[in-house]
Structure 1
C-alpha cells in the first residue's frame, strides 16, 4: 500500500461518512527545506472538523510524516468556499493543481475572483519588497551576509512570479516560462533568471553581490508597481 492509499484509509476511519473529498496539490513554491519540499500536500474536505477529529489525526501525524506526507489541511467544504476571497492565491493554487484521490471533485464550480487575486498579488509583491529593504539594512553592507539573504529570498520571489503568471491567466510552474512572463512586463530577464537559479551564497562573489542585489531590488520594485497599476479587466482577459 502506498502513502496516499494509507492516508485515504486513515482519513476514512477518522471521518467516515462525513468525508467529502481528499485532493493532492502542488505547493505554491519550494519550501525552505528539501525535506518539506518532498512531502505530499493534501487537502481533506469534510462536513465539519471536531476536536476529536484533530486528536485522531494527531495520533497518526508521525506515521504520515514517515511515509512522506505533509501535515494535511482539513476543513469543511463550506469553509473552503467562503474563504476563497481571503486566500485567493493559496486556494487558487490548490484549485489549479489539485488531483482528486477520494470522493468527487469539490472544485468543479469554484473560481477565484479576479480582483481578489489582484489584491493578494499586490500585497505579496509589496511585502517582498519591504522585506528585501529591511533585510539589506540588517546585513550591514556585508557581501557574504547579503548573498545568504538573497538565497533565502529565492522561494518567496518564485512564489511572486508564480502569482504573476496566475494573475495574467497563464499559470505555469516552468522556470523558463516564468522568466519570459516577467520579461514581457518589462522586468530584467537576466536578473530574474539569475535570482531563480541562486542555490548557494558562494555563487556570488563579494565584488558583485551588492550590485546584483540592487538589480534584484529594482526588479521587485518594478513588479510591485506593475501589479499596483493592474486593472481588474486586465486580470480577466
Structure 2
C-alpha cells in the first residue's frame, strides 16, 4: 500500500489546531500500538476523544482526514467523552483492542469502569466475520482467475481479519498472542478450520511471495476457513470458566 507523507505527529498537530482545548485524547490502538505493525501494510488506528464537536470543526478537518486516508489509514474514530464512556456495548471489538493495547499520543484516556461485555463482543464478532465473508466472496468473483487480483485480495484483507481472530480469542477468555501465526493457529484449533491458508497470507504480507497457482489454492482455503468461522460464531457459547467481561488494562 502506498503511503503519503502524513505522520501521526502531523495528525495530532492538526487535531490540536482544530479542536483546541476541546481535544482530550488522541490514542493509537491495534497492532501499531504494540509494535506489531507490518511496514507498508498495517494501518494506524486512531481514537480521538473531544469534549464537544460541531459541524464547523468537522468541516475544518476535511483536508486532514483526506490526507490521512491517502496515507493508507482507516478513518479516525472520533467520540465525545460521554460517547466514549457509554459506547462499549456497540463497539466492543474496538474497545477490547483499545483497552488491551494502546498508546497515548496526546492527553489522557479515561478507563475507569470501562469493560467489554462478552455478549456484545460475540454479536459484533459474528457480524464482522459474516461481513468479511461476504466481501471475500464478492472479491473472489471480481478477481476471477486473475492471480494478481487474488493476491491483492488476500493481502488487503488480512489486517481486518486479524482483528476478528483476536476477538475470537478474547471470547474464550484468552489474551491474544502478539504473533499473528500463533493467533491463527489458536483460533483455527478452536473453530475447526485449516490454519495453513491464513498463515500463508500472514507470510505474504511480510514479503513471502505466492506463485500464481498458490494464490488460487490459498484463496479457496481462506474462504472455506471464514465460512467455518462464521458458523462457529453463530453457535458460540462462552466457556463457563471465562469471565463475562473484559476489564481495561492500565497503561
With the shorter chain as reference, the TM-score category is 0.7 to 0.9
Q: What are the equivalent positions in structure 2 for 1:141-180 lying under 5 Å apart?
A: 141-169=145-173, 170-180=175-185
Quick check: 1:28–1:93 contact (8 Å CA) kept in 2?
no
* 3-state SS of 1:44 partner: strand
Q: Is the alpha carbon distance of 1:146 and 1:201 closer, same or farther for their aligned partners in structure 2, counting shifts above 3 Å?
A: farther
Matched length: 232
Which of 204, 209, 217 is residue 211 of structure 2 equivalent to? 204
Where does residue 183 of structure 1 map in the other structure? 188
Which of 187, 201, 205 is residue 195 of structure 1 equivalent to? 201
Where does residue 128 of structure 1 map in the other structure? 132
Q: Distance in 2 between matches of 1:78 and 1:5?
A: 26
The runs of 5 or more residues in structure 2 that have no matched partner are 1-6, 245-251
Which of 92, 97, 109 is residue 88 of structure 1 equivalent to? 92
Q: Distance in 1 between matches of 2:13 and 2:209?
A: 46
Structure 1 residue 64: Cα displacement: 8.5
Q: Distance in 1 between matches of 2:147 and 2:11?
A: 46
TM-score by length of 1: 0.74
Q: For the pair shown, which has the larger CA radius of gyration, 1 or 2?
A: 1
Structure 1 residue 132: Cα displacement: 2.2
Q: Distance in 2 between matches of 1:5 and 1:205?
A: 40
Matched, 1:216 2:222: yes
Q: Is the alpha carbon distance of 1:195 and 1:44 closer, same or farther for their aligned partners in structure 2, counting shifts above 3 Å?
A: closer
1:27-54 C-alpha deviation (Å, 9 max, x unpaired): 69999992873x5x44332321123433
Structure 1 residue 78: Cα displacement: 0.7
Structure with more of its chain in helix, by fraction: 1
Quick check: 1:148–1:201 contact (8 Å CA) kept in 2?
no
Q: Is the alpha carbon distance of 1:135 and 1:26 closer, same or farther for their aligned partners in structure 2, counting shifts above 3 Å?
A: closer
Q: Is the alpha carbon distance of 1:63 and 1:222 closer, same or farther for their aligned partners in structure 2, counting shifts above 3 Å?
A: closer
Q: Distance in 2 between matches of 1:70 and 1:146?
A: 22
Q: Is the alpha carbon distance of 1:51 and 1:187 closer, same or farther for their aligned partners in structure 2, counting shifts above 3 Å?
A: same
Bigger drift between 119-128 and 165-174 goes to 165-174
Which of 237, 243, 246 is residue 236 of structure 1 equivalent to? 243
TM-score by length of 2: 0.70
Q: Is the alpha carbon distance of 1:31 and 1:106 closer, same or farther for their aligned partners in structure 2, counting shifts above 3 Å?
A: same
Q: Distance in 2 between matches of 1:130 and 1:11?
A: 35
Bigger drift between 10-19 and 26-35 goes to 26-35
Where does residue 141 of structure 2 map in the other structure? 137
